[in-house]
């Protein structure tokens, strides 16, 4: 018995020594300042973060004083933003790359991580294997966050010089406190302004091999034959040969659990609508490829057979290669085209030189774009961006086409004012089958100002902007379009938001010039992060492409969201569109409405139901169409650590004489995450 006691004493001693080894060079951070609203007030509650590491993880140990205003929030699924007090770490492993990882800890234990990109936008799609442990009583919140090095992209050898930004959010007064003082107004300097964190430890090579196999069973009830497909396997594979290089391959990637797109008003668009990319494989690391929808619209890749991606970086460069082979779908005339994007970007303290190639190859045609985009930061407040994109298009034996798009953007900030000047020229022979459709053969100049100020008396934030935009036919200086306007947004401490936009517009179509004006008004109210409601109104006498003439147009929008219970969240928005009766025609509906609704029920952290309803009441007599609707429901369940089962149903119907099924699928998917 005595020998057993001695063994446990020695074991406890070894554990303590090992822990102290990691903490002996611990660094402490405790100077938290309010950044939103930006009052620069010190945080009244004692908050301290201790940082240390071993050779596998970096640790951030929080000790936070609590008062009666502390709000725990609801139990929510992982990867869900929750209105509650939270603690956030932004870890910047390569400051010159202008990106950072963030990790959030909530009182109820759900995990939320992601990436902040060079435009300071936050994306929640990136996921890591970070963990944290909470100890909370009436006066104190202790949180130990553990972030594995193998999930991070970094370069070089020890000592590693990184940056970190800590944030404590208090839901009661909706305030963000930061250590150090860093706000979005820092622009590119944001990533260089964090606290210094030095990793002296020599980190072992970790290949971080991850296999995500899955198999899928689909049932298509509307099909009379071949309505069941079982064993439709796929595989996601990721491999990190070095800490600065990531490789990912997806074979037969499945997006069955991606929600339906929202119904939008498409009645008067010049080109087909574009939709935000919601498939994580295409979202991650897109900043490396310097992509815009004009250059490379990833939603053109409808259903890839396979896709591969390599991204990497070093001290002064990041690079990437993306390749995807689409699947041929005869029913919608989708070809099995090959898509690709390449990025090689060099950066210094004040310059970024982006070089990118995009291409799309068909059986009988190919389209290649080369884009060079240097950006110069004279200081935190002034930047100049130059962009030139050259396209080459060749189809069969036809004569090839080649042309370019040129863009010059200058921005300068004076305290709370930002001034922008943008010059554009679009070549007549420019072809971008890789991107979304655009107007060609014109030049444009844009001048704009923006005023953004926080914490003014009873106002949380004031934002006002003005703009003038004019375009001409290339080399002829014939007027094409002109627009000017002013917009504003006012947020009060009572949680009301007022916004407006007033604009005027003129355009030449054929031999006629059309003048129009527009007005939009909005009002919304949120209640302590638990519910919100809003209304919007828009009116314009713009040119209607569908009617080929000018017509008055009105729209009213109503929306609301609420956490009905601790587990049930609902969001709904309805838009009503109204044209004068005399504008009615066989191919245009003068009065119609759209409905988009979402419902999320969280049974527990690892079991969640998401569903949505879409309805479009627009009618087209020419096609005897009387509306359409869509409905989906997706269930996700992590029944064992890193083992998932997904189930779902989606259905789309158009109403002609009767309701006809356009698409209907029931699916079950098994998925595992295997870390080697």
- Residue 563 structure tokens: 């956490």
pLDDT band of residue 1 (cuts 50, 70, 90) is low
Nearest-CA neighbor of 116 among 167, 58, 181? 167
Q: Is the pLDDT of residue 23 over 70?
A: no
- pLDDT, tens only, 232-258: 788 888 888 777 778 888 888 767 677
pLDDT above 70: residue 205: yes
Rounded-to-integer distance, Cα 541 and Cα 547, Å: 13
**Cβ contacts of residue 476 below 8 Å, gap of 6+?**
none
DSSP line for 404-453: EEEEEEEEEEETTEEEEEEEEEE-TT---TTS-----SEEEEEEEEEEEE
Q: Evaluate the CA torsion angle 78, 84, 87, 92 in order and state its sign.
A: positive
Beta bridge partners of 459: 456, 492
Per-residue pLDDT, 97? 76
Burial bucket for residue 332 (CB in 10 Å: 0-12, 13-18, 19+): exposed
Q: What Rg value do the Cα atoms of the chain yield, rounded?
A: 27
- Residue spans of beta strands (DSSP E) within 106-174: 111-116, 122-123, 131-136, 140-148, 160-170
Of 196, 193, 173, nearest in space to 184 by CA: 193
Give me the mean pLDDT over the 352-378 stretch. 92
Cβ neighbours around 350 below 10 Å, total: 12
Closest to 118 in 3D by CA, of 280, 343, 352, 378: 352
Q: What is the pLDDT of residue 231?
A: 64
Q: What is the 3-state secondary structure (H, E, C) of 219-266?
A: ECCCCCCCCEECCCCEEEEEEEEECCEEEEEEECCCCCCCCCCCCCCC
pLDDT at 17: 43
Question: What is the rounded CA–CA span in Å between residue 440 and residue 438?
Answer: 6
Reported as a pLDDT band with limits 50, 70 and 90, residue 20 is: very low
Q: Torsions phi, psi of 9, nearest 5? A: -65, -45
Task: Give yes or no for residue 21 having a pLDDT over 90.
Answer: no
- Give helix then strand counts, H and E, for the chain: 2, 41
CA distances from 654 to 575, 578, 633 (A): 19, 22, 19
Q: Tell which residue, 380, 328, 329, 376, has the closest CA to residue 353.
A: 376
| Residue 443: predicted pLDDT | 95
Model confidence pTM above 0.75? yes
| Three-state DSSP state, 191 | helix
Per-residue confidence (pLDDT) for residue 423, from 0 to 100? 96
pLDDT at 226: 64
Please report the DSSP string for 287-336 in residue order.
GGGT--TTT--GGG--SEEEEEEEEEEETTEEEEEEEEEEPPBGGGTB--
Q: Mean pLDDT throughout 518-543?
A: 92
Are 502 and 486 in contact, with CB atoms under 8 Å apart? yes
Contact between 83 and 94 (Cβ < 8 Å):
no
In sequence order, what are the beta bridge partners of 140? 65
The number of C-alpha atoms within 13 Å of 466 and in the hemisphere containing its C-beta is 3
Check: CB of residue 663 under 8 Å from CB of residue 650: yes
Q: Is the pLDDT of residue 225 over 70?
A: no
Residue pLDDT, tens place only, 632-641: 999 989 888 8
Answer whether 101's CB lies under 8 Å from 126's CB: yes
Contact 101, 91 (CB under 8 A): yes
Q: CA–CA separation, 480 vs 579, rounded Å?
A: 26
Is pLDDT above 50 for 286? yes
Higher per-residue confidence, 315 vs 567: 567
Question: Residue 164 burial by CB count (10 A; 0-12/13-18/19+): exposed, middle or buried?
Answer: buried
Tokens for 377, please give them.
């930061």
């Amino acid at each position: 018995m005595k020998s057993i006691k001695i063994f446990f004493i020695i074991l406890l001693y070894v554990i303590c020594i090992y822990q102290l080894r990691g903490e002996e060079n611990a660094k402490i951070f405790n100077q938290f300042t309010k950044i939103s609203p930006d009052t620069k007030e010190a945080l009244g509650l004692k908050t301290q973060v201790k940082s240390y590491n071993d050779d596998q993880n970096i640790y951030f140990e929080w000790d936070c004083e609590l008062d009666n205003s502390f709000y725990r929030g609801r139990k929510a699924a992982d990867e869900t933003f929750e209105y509650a007090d939270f603690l956030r770490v932004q870890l910047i492993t390569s400051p010159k790359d202008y990106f950072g990882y963030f990790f959030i800890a909530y009182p109820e234990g759900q995990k939320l991580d992601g990436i902040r990109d060079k435009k300071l936008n936050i994306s929640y799609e990136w996921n890591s294997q970070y963990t944290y442990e909470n100890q909370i009583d009436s006066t104190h919140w202790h949180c130990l966050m553990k972030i594995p090095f193998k999930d991070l992209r970094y370069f070089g050898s020890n000592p590693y010089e990184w940056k970190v930004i800590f944030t404590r959010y208090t839901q009661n007064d909706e305030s963000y406190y930061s250590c150090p003082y860093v706000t979005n107004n820092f622009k590119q300097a944001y990533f260089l302004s964090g606290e210094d964190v030095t990793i002296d430890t020599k980190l072992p090579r970790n290949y971080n091999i991850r296999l995500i196999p899955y198999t899928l069973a689909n049932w298509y009830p509307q099909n009379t034959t071949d309505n069941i497909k079982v064993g439709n396997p796929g595989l996601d594979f990721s491999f990190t040969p070095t800490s600065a290089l990531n490789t990912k391959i997806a074979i037969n990637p499945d997006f069955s659990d991606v929600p339906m797109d929202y119904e939008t008003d498409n009645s008067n668009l010049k080109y087909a609508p574009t939709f935000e990319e919601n498939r994580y494989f295409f979202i991650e690391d897109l900043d490396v490829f310097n992509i815009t929808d004009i250059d490379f619209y990833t939603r053109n890749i409808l259903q890839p057979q396979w896709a591969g991606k390599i991204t990497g970086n070093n001290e002064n460069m990041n690079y990437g290669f993306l390749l995807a082979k689409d699947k041929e779908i005869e029913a919608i005339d989708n070809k099995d085209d090959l898509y690709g994007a390449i990025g090689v970007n060099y950066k210094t303290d004040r310059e970024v030189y982006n070089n990118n190639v995009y291409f799309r190859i068909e059986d009988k045609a190919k389209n290649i774009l080369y884009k060079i985009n240097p950006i110069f930061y004279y200081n935190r407040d002034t930047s100049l961006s130059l962009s030139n994109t050259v396209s080459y298009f060749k189809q069969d034996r036809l004569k090839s086409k080649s042309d370019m798009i040129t863009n010059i953007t200058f921005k300068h900030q004076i305290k709370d004012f930002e001034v922008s000047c943008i010059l554009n020229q679009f070549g007549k022979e420019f072809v971008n089958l890789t991107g979304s459709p655009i107007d060609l053969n014109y030049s444009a100049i844009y001048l704009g100002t923006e005023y953004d100020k926080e914490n003014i008396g009873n106002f949380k934030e004031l934002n006002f902007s003005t703009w003038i935009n004019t375009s001409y036919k290339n080399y002829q200086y014939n007027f094409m379009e002109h627009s000017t306007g002013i917009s504003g947004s006012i947020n009060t401490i009572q949680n009301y938001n007022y916004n407006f936009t007033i604009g005027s517009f003129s355009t030449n179509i054929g031999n006629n010039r059309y003048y129009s004006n527009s007005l939009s008004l909005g009002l919304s109210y949120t209640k302590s992060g638990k519910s919100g409601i809003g209304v919007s109104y828009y009116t314009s006498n713009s040119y209607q492409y569908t009617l080929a003439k000018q017509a008055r147009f009105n729209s009213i929008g109503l929306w609301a969201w609420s956490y009905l219970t601790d587990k049930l969240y609902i969001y709904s928005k309805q838009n009503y569109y109204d044209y004068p009766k005399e504008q009615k025609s066989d191919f245009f509906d003068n009065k119609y409405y759209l409905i988009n609704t979402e419902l999320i029920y969280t049974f527990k952290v690892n079991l969640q139901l998401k569903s949505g309803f879409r309805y479009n009441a627009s009618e087209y007599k020419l096609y005897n169409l009387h509306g359409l609707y869509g409905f989906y429901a997706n269930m996700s369940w992590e029944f064992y650590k890193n083992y998932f089962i997904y189930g779902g149903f989606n259905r789309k119907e158009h109403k002609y004489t009767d309701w006809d099924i356009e698409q209907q699928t029931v699916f079950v998917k098994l998925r595992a995450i295997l870390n080697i």
